Amino acid sequence: MLELGKAGSAGTAKGELPVLRDGAVVAVLRASSWKEAATAVVGDREWVLAKRKRALTGRWASEPEDAVRLSARQTSFWKGTWEVDLAGTLLHAEVVSRWKGGYRYLDGKRVVAETGTTGGWSPRPTLTADDALSLDHQVFLLWLALVMSRRDEAATTAAVTGGAVAGGS
């Protein structure tokens, strides 16, 4: 299982999120706080992860800006479904639980990965994945989990704030 660690922990620099497997750092994620963008370092390869048009994409840092190796796009806002392309491997993502959150990634009918969160006051994304998925692809799915959780948090905050403003007028 992969877990996104706290920024600046496990020997990473301030602002860097360690990607941990059994407590050991296997990758580093430098995620933007205000944009759906990040840089991931997996081994000796650097990935640029970003939102482009309606898709979340991943490319090697050495490639041109229009290159896309990995992508994910939401297919249904209401159902919370996504289509993910991991360098030619197409996965379907669906919500595991409306109450607990998390996504299940399916290759046909076979579950190849599932996201969740750590417990506690500041939950962080986790990913349990089939060994057939490369670490690069697992880190992309973990970043997607971070983006999705931030979107959910923003929507919840907007709903609560909007209700307070509407109720107070």
Q: Is 10 exposed, middle or buried (0-12, 13-18, 19+ CB in 10 A)?
A: middle
Residue whose C-alpha is closest to residue 12's, from 41, 36, 45: 41
Report the half-sphere exposure of 44 (CA within 13 A, side-chain side). Answer: 0
Residue extents of the structural domains in the chain: 2-168
Percent of the chain with pLDDT over 90: 62
The CATH code of the domain at 2-168 is 2.40.160
pLDDT value at 12 more than 80: yes
Q: Strands, E, within the chain: which ranges? A: 2-4, 17-21, 24-31, 37-42, 45-52, 55-60, 70-76, 81-86, 89-95, 103-107, 110-117, 125-129
In whole angstroms, what is the distance from residue 7 CA to residue 65 CA? 27
The amino acid that residue 91 corresponds to is L
3-state secondary structure of 51: strand
3-state secondary structure of 1: coil
Q: What is the pLDDT of residues 146-169, one digit of tens each?
A: 998 777 666 666 666 665 545 554
Residue whose C-alpha is closest to residue 8's, from 22, 26, 23, 29: 29
pLDDT score for 122:
79
Identify whether the C-beta of residue 43 lies closer than 8 Å to the C-beta of residue 28.
Answer: no
pLDDT score for 160:
67
pLDDT value at 113 more than 90: yes
Q: What is the pLDDT of residues 114-144, one digit of tens each?
A: 999 887 787 889 999 999 999 999 999 999 9
In whole angstroms, what is the distance from residue 156 CA to residue 164 CA? 12
Identify whether the C-beta of residue 16 lies closer than 8 Å to the C-beta of residue 110.
Answer: no
Question: Encoding tokens for residue 1?
Answer: 């299982």
Residue 55's beta-bridge partner residues? 52, 73
Average pLDDT, the chain: 88
Q: Answer yes or no: pTM beyond 0.95.
A: no
